[in-house]
Chain A
């Protein structure tokens, strides 16, 4: 390893990055756009479920009951209709996810002390929001029912009525259970997996495409020097990008940052090395910029999205898939970042994941260096 050659290589890359407007756009715009797109687009909080109401009785009491749905932030009452037909049409058209139907004998039965069924019709095509809608609906109904019961008991002479049991939940780390807090660290990992791989996926392919590779390989520069010289500027850029994403997460999306900075920086450097080497490897293998950058997107985006624990919790996956997730570097970074942002976990409790990243970094840099041949055949 000759330092002058490494330096000359790195300086050349920096000049080329600086002169290429497109690469600057990728460096700055891509992470910001992805952060915003994911930050706003991927929300697991289902609020404001569009709801239709059908009150067949239209009594004082039924209206009073339905007000509870209108008051809930989980529902957005789109329309109150008069017939079943309208409900069916609305669900067919997708105007609402759910409809609540109050039967015509609602208040009569209640007065008589008989059980009443409130009908809820749910669009099951999106099972996730259907489930949420049902449980939110359940909650609205049962709280109303409890109120009724208390009133009924009091009328019978019981002065104080208390429910015997309740769940007293206290949420740690993400006190308001906002999914944004879970998503943003994941998005940072996702964005860097994609951007990092993309950055270097062009470097070697570009030299081949522009014909400069032939001159380069005729010099005594070693492949290690080429690799490190090309990666060094992007490591700095990647670090900058990650900090930019993290800053957006903290100051724009209001996610806490509870860890020490150095733990964040250490794992970030390791992860960036991993993704840059991966991009470099793909660039060597792809040999043209188009192929390499497309490979980079497929090879990083899908695994980082699906298998890193970003949207599907890893411990909910089938055992075989869980094993596979260990091969996805984003998995470790995702875990570390969630801890870094939300928990402030000390390194001693997540060293395995940091070590996993380090192992990937070493293996992939070696693999990428070896894949490159100083030959043109």
Chain B
């Protein structure tokens, strides 16, 4: 599925050569500069800039309402930005939305295929919408059926499929025309863990074929599968980099895991301690951000013992993305998230 510029189908109404429309750095699939979207007074997306490279799995991570879907919709030309610009495969979304649409696949957060059409009918419809050449049609359709694992269900109504299958069918419909860039908006929300894993295997396969996958998620574990990530919070990018870079670089100190009873009470107690920068509950344990884990551990134990809270393991751990995220989005004096 490796693509070069010749594969970008031209909009027949546009007589200029695609190369003339291209701008931005070579090798960049998606370039976003100063993108802003306001709904009234509310800035859903507040001055976002980013670059996703070709063949990369680019993760867009953040809680619900952070502005992920709004951004992705602007990149697909579905929403017009208040200000800023975006290019996809070097083509400006605002000025040539139809050429961009021919070169992307989009999968919206909500299932938006036709429930009253069968699997095959949906595929044929979207193949038509993307004008997949007739000579390629049978092979593309059977490829999509295969990929989505829908063999034997070709004649089922899309509405009757389980969520995991629906999502894979939606992906199949979105990439029938072999787009070089694919936008997936929360593709795995509401999908069981098994199907989630299968879905991510598909994403990796596409990326291996040279497709740029721009994916949003609020699952922290999924973010680990991405080549590069940006964390978005309240419409702003709070951190970016590879998962490893984020984990290493975004935390101001070291991370201490504390297993103890009465985590709520312990959180209150430790959160107030001067040598602890940050504290958060993770399951039935606490994660503490401290300057030096070695030095802080005895102090933590003492504090807990004084209050009669039985403590188990107290040790330094490597931060997960969730830790990074909590650390970056918790407002603290002296730092704005």
Q: Which residue of A lies closest to B173 (CB)?
A: A215
- Count A-B contacts at CB 8 Å: 91
- The answer to whether B111 and A211 touch across the interface, beta carbons within 8 angstroms, is yes
* From B104, B115, B128, contact of A9 by CB (8 A): B128
Which B residues are in CB contact (< 8 Å) with A214?
78, 108, 110, 112
Which B residues are in CB contact (< 8 Å) with A239?
none
Interface residues of A in 205-221 (CB under 8 A from B): 210-221
User: How distant is the Cα of A215 from the Cα of B108 in the complex, in angstroms?
Assistant: 7
Once A210-B115, A211-B112 are accepted as A-B contacts, the answer to whether A218 and B130 lie under 8 Å apart by CB is: no
B126 at the interface (CB under 8 A from A): yes
Once A2-B12, A8-B124 are accepted as A-B contacts, the answer to whether A220 and B117 lie under 8 Å apart by CB is: no
- The answer to whether B78 and A217 touch across the interface, beta carbons within 8 angstroms, is yes
Once A12-B125, A375-B80 are accepted as A-B contacts, the answer to whether A5 and B114 lie under 8 Å apart by CB is: no
A7 at the interface (CB under 8 A from B): yes
User: How distant is the Cα of A124 from the Cα of B131 in the complex, in angstroms?
Assistant: 69
Interface residues of B in 155-194 (CB under 8 A from A): 170, 173-174
A377 to chain B, nearest CB (A): 5
Interface residues of B in 17-69 (CB under 8 A from A): none
Interface residues of B in 130-161 (CB under 8 A from A): 130-131, 134
Q: Which residue of B lies closest to A219 (CB)?
A: B129
Once A2-B12, A375-B78 are accepted as A-B contacts, the answer to whether A218 and B106 lie under 8 Å apart by CB is: yes
User: How distant is the Cα of A19 from the Cα of B158 in the complex, in angstroms?
Assistant: 13
Once A376-B78, A377-B79 are accepted as A-B contacts, the answer to whether A220 and B114 lie under 8 Å apart by CB is: no
Q: Which residue of B lies closest to A222 (CB)?
A: B98
Once A12-B121, A214-B110, A375-B79 are accepted as A-B contacts, the answer to whether A220 and B115 lie under 8 Å apart by CB is: no
Q: Which residue of A lies closest to B157 (CB)?
A: A19
User: How distant is the Cα of A8 from the Cα of B111 in the complex, in angstroms?
Assistant: 20
Tell me if A's interface is mostly helix, strand, loop or mixed.
helix
A20 at the interface (CB under 8 A from B): yes
Which A residues are in CB contact (< 8 Å) with B173?
215
- The answer to whether B98 and A15 touch across the interface, beta carbons within 8 angstroms, is no
- The answer to whether B106 and A215 touch across the interface, beta carbons within 8 angstroms, is yes
User: How distant is the Cα of A217 from the Cα of B108 in the complex, in angstroms?
Assistant: 11
Which A residues are in CB contact (< 8 Å) with B97?
374
A154 at the interface (CB under 8 A from B): no
B76 at the interface (CB under 8 A from A): yes
- The answer to whether A220 and B128 touch across the interface, beta carbons within 8 angstroms, is no
Interface residues of A in 1-56 (CB under 8 A from B): 2, 4-5, 7-9, 11-12, 15-16, 19-20
Q: Which residue of A lies closest to B134 (CB)?
A: A4
User: How distant is the Cα of A20 from the Cα of B102 in the complex, in angstroms?
Assistant: 31
Interface residues of B in 81-97 (CB under 8 A from A): 97
B73 at the interface (CB under 8 A from A): yes
Which B residues are in CB contact (< 8 Å) with A216?
112, 129
User: How distant is the Cα of A216 from the Cα of B108 in the complex, in angstroms?
Assistant: 11
A203 to chain B, nearest CB (A): 13
User: How distant is the Cα of A8 from the Cα of B129 in the complex, in angstroms?
Assistant: 7
Once A218-B106, A375-B80 are accepted as A-B contacts, the answer to whether A212 and B112 lie under 8 Å apart by CB is: yes
Q: Which residue of B lies closest to A16 (CB)?
A: B116
* From A2, A15, A219, contact of B101 by CB (8 A): A219
Which A residues are in CB contact (< 8 Å) with B130?
219-220
B11 at the interface (CB under 8 A from A): yes
Which A residues are in CB contact (< 8 Å) with B126?
215, 219
- The answer to whether A20 and B116 touch across the interface, beta carbons within 8 angstroms, is yes
- The answer to whether A12 and B114 touch across the interface, beta carbons within 8 angstroms, is yes
- The answer to whether B78 and A220 touch across the interface, beta carbons within 8 angstroms, is no
Which A residues are in CB contact (< 8 Å) with B102?
220
**Which of A11, A211, A212, A375 has the most CB atoms of chain B within a 10 A radius of its CB?**
A212
User: How distant is the Cα of A70 from the Cα of B107 in the complex, in angstroms?
Assistant: 78
- The answer to whether B101 and A218 touch across the interface, beta carbons within 8 angstroms, is yes
Which A residues are in CB contact (< 8 Å) with B112?
210-216
B189 to chain A, nearest CB (A): 14
User: How distant is the Cα of A212 from the Cα of B113 in the complex, in angstroms?
Assistant: 6
Which A residues are in CB contact (< 8 Å) with B131?
2, 4-5, 220
Q: Which residue of B lies closest to A18 (CB)?
A: B116
**Proximity bits, A357-374, B CB within 8 Å = 1, else 0:** 000000000000000001
Interfacial residues, chain A to chain B (CB-CB below 8 A): 2, 4-5, 7-9, 11-12, 15-16, 19-20, 210-222, 374-377
Which 10 interchain pairs have the tightest Cβ spacing? Answer: A8-B128, A219-B129, A218-B106, A215-B112, A220-B102, A220-B101, A214-B108, A211-B112, A12-B125, A376-B78
> Can you add 18 more A-B contacts, CB < 8 Å, to A12-B121, A214-B110, A215-B112?
A5-B131, A7-B128, A8-B124, A8-B128, A12-B114, A16-B116, A210-B112, A214-B108, A215-B106, A215-B113, A215-B174, A218-B78, A218-B104, A218-B106, A218-B108, A219-B126, A220-B98, A376-B73
